[in-house]
Structure 1
Amino acid sequence: MNTTVYIYSPPTPPTMDDARTTLPALLLSLVLTLAVVPAGVAGTQTAQDTLTVDKDGSAEYQSIQAAVNAADSGDTVEVRPGTYREEVRINESITLVAPDRAILGGSRFVNGTGVTVAGAADANVTGFTVRNYRFGVAANETSGDWTVTDTTVIAADVGVYAPNTAGNWTIEDAAVASTTYSGVFVRGTSGDWTIRDTRFVNVGGDGVDVRKSSGDWTVATVVVDRSGADGVDASGTTGDWTVRNTEVRRSNTGVKAIDSGGNWTVTDLTVHRSDTGLVTAFSGGAWTLEDSTLETRDIGVFTARTTGAWTIQNTTIESQQQGIHAVNTNASWTVSESTISVTAEQNAIGVDARSASGDWSLTDVTIESPGIEVAE
């Protein structure tokens, strides 16, 4: 009879030398295991790629649109110098950049658009010169927080066409010149958007047309020179808005807001060689105009039938006909530390407040004109 005897021996505790030997092997095994785990299991982070475009064929892509179509959200499409005669449509949240000023040329298109941003894309378009399109950049009815930076639009019907948008988009360090209509056409917007450090030169309509919008927006460090209409037209709007460090030259009006309901803050506005500096009527919001200079042919500040309180301070108004026209206003007015000069030899009025029903306060105000009318 054969008998098998099992003898139990307790395991020997590992030593530090064993740990030094086995730990690197275990770590290597873990790394190799993670390397073959599907991305959906190991994590969701995806590397961001840069796709390059060069029309001479020396890069990954010869056309911008082909690279944009291949890009995923978060990627960058980098366009090398040259003139690209195409229309580009962006549907993803990508960066489209031309570090050395690539040109988009649209002369071969009828009613073409240089760059279209669509849907909810948080796209960034930067560094381009866009010429001879109907719309330089179009983003109408979008909901994304897109940006257009360091981009110039020349010889378009409209520089940036973005009506009915809901996103908090930004136009920055840009320029629009020689358009048939407005520099930026953004009627019916509801987002809190910003235009800053941007120039509009020789535009056929308004520098910025933001009529019938409801968001709270900011126009800052903007120059409008030679517009066919107004620097900023925000008539029919309801948002609380800010215009600061902005200059309007050779236009109808610096800032216009007929039938608006929001509160306005206008700081460091310069209007030169234009008909009127600031125009509002049938408006209900409070207005503040400060640290500004209005040199106009007709009227510095024109208001009529407004119900919001007004504050004008540290402002110089030089006009030919009237400094402040405030007929039929129904709120308090405070004018302080300001100078009003009217130069017309006949019918010149420094402050015209006939039929105004609110309380008026003029403190440290110098008025140089043949006549003055202020409501009691």
Structure 2
Amino acid sequence: MSDTRTRLPALLLSIMLTLAVVPAGAAGTQTGQETLTVDKSGSADYRSIQAAVNAADSGDTVEVQPGTYYEEVSVNESITLVAPDRAILDGSRFVNGTGITVAGTAEPNVTGFTVRNYRFGVAANGTSGDWTVSDTTVIAADVGVYAPNTTGNWTIEDAAVASTAYSGVFARGTSGDWMIRNTRFVEVGGDGVDVRKSSGDWTVAAVVVDQSGADGVDASGTTGDWSVQNTEVRRSDAGVKAINSDGDWAVTDLTVSRSDIGLVTAFSGGAWTLEDSTLETRDIGVFTARTTGAWTIQNTTIESQQQGIHAVNTNASWTIFESTISVTAQRDAIGVDARSATEGWSLTDVTIESPGIEVAE
């Protein structure tokens, strides 16, 4: 017994010394991040989403069980807000409400919700965090995602926006590098994506815009570089518009149908590449005017009623190869209109079908 009592202080000292050398933050790593559950029936940690969000710390997960939640949710921390079984946020009880607001520097991951009957489905005005909205549907809002003046590199993916009064995504004046991927915009009153006067580099990939009140993508006044991939625009004014823009554009596998114009750009300085695309339009396939960037069109089919390519007063080289241009109007039809162009044009393996003028130079 005396030997045990003698050894006990030494053992306690050894344990204390061991704890003293544990690196700062290691205890938090060991305990892990919390998952806070929400169920309006009262069977979870919280009845309301906002109460759980307020209690969550950065890195935590707020998991929302199925049901309809009449709330406006504001997220100020970098948390995961998830509805694994499609919880519904409904704003029908609010005037000019917002479904989910991302604030400040927060970098949340919002996923799995159906958001309906709000002014803004998701709002992130002026944020600087790299937030993500995924697997989320916004229905019957004024604007699906309202994110002007942001500086973060945010992402919208695996999402849908339908039946909006105005744009699907309104993100003017942004400066971050961000992506919209695998997302559908259906029956939006304005542009599918409105990003005018932005300066970041953008990626639009596997996006569908079907029946917009304006354009599929309006990037007028932008200075960043753009990548548009595997994207389809139907029943819109223009597929992609970039008036007075200066970034370089790479457009691959773009389909525009039942729209007025496929691509529109004027007073722009960036280089454009259009390849592996199909533009079936009522008026003009590609409209350019007073541009200074070089153009390359490859393996592309343009079918239009009035003009295949309108490239008046352009000041850089054009290379078109392995493409077909078809114009169907019986009068004043022009396959390629390159009047007043100051640089050389190269057409290789290009088929131009037109009942009127084929090439105007």
Confirm or deny a common fold (TM above 0.5): yes
Query: One-letter code of the match for 2:206?
Result: T
Q: 2:62 aligns with which of 57, 72, 77?
A: 77
Gap change, CA 1:41 and 1:318, over 3 Å in 2: closer
For 1:259, give the aligned amino acid: N
Residue 131 of structure 2 is aligned to residue 146 of structure 1: yes
- Conserved 8 A contact 1:354-1:373: no
Matched pairs, number: 353
Shift of 1:371: 1.1
Amino acid in the other structure paired with 1:148: V
Q: Which amino acid aligns with 2:349?
A: D
Q: Which residue is 1:225 aligned to?
A: 210
SS of equivalent to 2:176: coil
**Aligned partner (choices 160, 163, 170) of residue 175 of structure 1:** 160
What are the within-5 Å matches in structure 2 for residues 162-311 of structure 1?
A: 162-311=147-296
Alignment partner, residue 140 of structure 2: 155
Q: 2:3 maps to which residue?
A: none
Judging changes above 3 Å, is the alpha-carbon distance between structure 1 residues 33 and 79 closer, same or farther for their aligned structure 2 residues? farther
Taking the aligned partners of 2:25 and 2:210, their CA distance within structure 1 comes to 57
* 1:346 matched to 2:331: yes
- Preserved CA contact (<8 Å) 1:34 1:42: no
TM-score (norm 2): 0.94
Structure 1 residues 362 and 27, CA, compared in 2 at 3 Å: closer, same or farther? Answer: farther
Distance of aligned partners of 1:134 and 1:34 in 2 relative to their CA distance in 1, 3 Å threshold: farther
Paired letter, 2:247:
G
One-letter identity of the residue aligned with 1:161? Y
Tell me: CA distance 1:41–1:75, structure 2 relative to 1, closer, same or farther (3 Å). closer
Whether the 8 Å CA contact 2:334–2:360 is kept in 1: the answer is no
CA RMSD of aligned residues (A): 2.0
Q: Normalising by structure 1, what TM-score?
A: 0.90
Runs of 4+ aligned structure 1 residues displaced above 3 Å come to 24-46
Aligned AA (2:139): I
Q: Report which stretch shifted further, 130-139 or 40-49.
A: 40-49
Aligned to 2:4: none
Distance in 2 of aligned mates of 1:272 and 1:126: 31
Shift of 1:145: 0.2
Residue of structure 1 aligned with 2:121, choices 124, 129, 136: 136
Task: Give the structure 2 partner of residue 334 of structure 1.
Answer: 319
Which whole-Å deviations, capped at 9, do the CAs of 1:149-204 have from their partners, x for residues lacking one?
Answer: 00000000000000000000000000000000000000000000000000000000
Counterpart of 2:359? Answer: 373
Cross-structure match for 2:101: 116
Structure 2 spans left out of the alignment, 5+ residues: 1-6
CA distance in 1, matches of 2:176, 2:293: 24
* Rounded Cα–Cα distance in structure 2 between residues aligned with 1:111 and 1:174: 22
Secondary structure at the counterpart of residue 240 of structure 2: strand
Tell me if structure 1 keeps the 8 A contact 2:252–2:274: yes
Which whole-Å CA distance do the structure 2 matches of 1:318 and 1:340 have between them? 6
Q: Name the CA distance, whole Å, in 1 between partners of 2:151 and 2:310.
A: 36
For 1:308, give the aligned amino acid: G
Q: Superposition pairs for residues 81-100 of structure 1, below 5 Å?
A: 81-100=66-85
For 1:159 and 1:130, locate their aligned partners in 2 and report how far apart those are by CA, in whole Å: 9
Contact 1:103 1:128 in 2 (8 A): yes
Q: Which amino acid aligns with 1:275?
A: D
Please give the alpha-carbon distance, in whole angstroms, between the structure 1 residues aligned to 2:262 and 2:334.
16
Q: What is the alpha-carbon distance in structure 2 between the residues aligned to residue 30 and residue 353 of structure 1?
A: 85
How far apart are the structure 2 equivalents of 1:27 and 1:105? Answer: 60
Unmatched 5+ stretches in structure 1: 1-21
Structure 2: distance between partners of 1:28 and 1:313: 76
Q: Give 1:31 shift.
A: 4.5
With over 3 angstroms needed to count, the CA separation of the structure-2 counterparts of 1:316 and 1:35, relative to structure 1, is: same
* 2:88 corresponds to: 103
**Quick one: distance in 1 between partners of 2:334 and 2:237?**
20
Q: Structure 1 pair 243/41, CA: closer, same or farther in 2 (3 Å)? A: closer
Deviation at 1:373, TM superposition (A): 2.7
C-alpha distance in 2, partners of 1:98/1:41?
30
Deviations 1:206-259 (A, max 9, x none): 000000000001000000000000000000000011011000000000000000
Residue number in structure 2 paired with 1:7: none
* Secondary structure at the counterpart of residue 54 of structure 2: helix
Distance change in 2, residues 1:325/1:42 (3 Å): closer
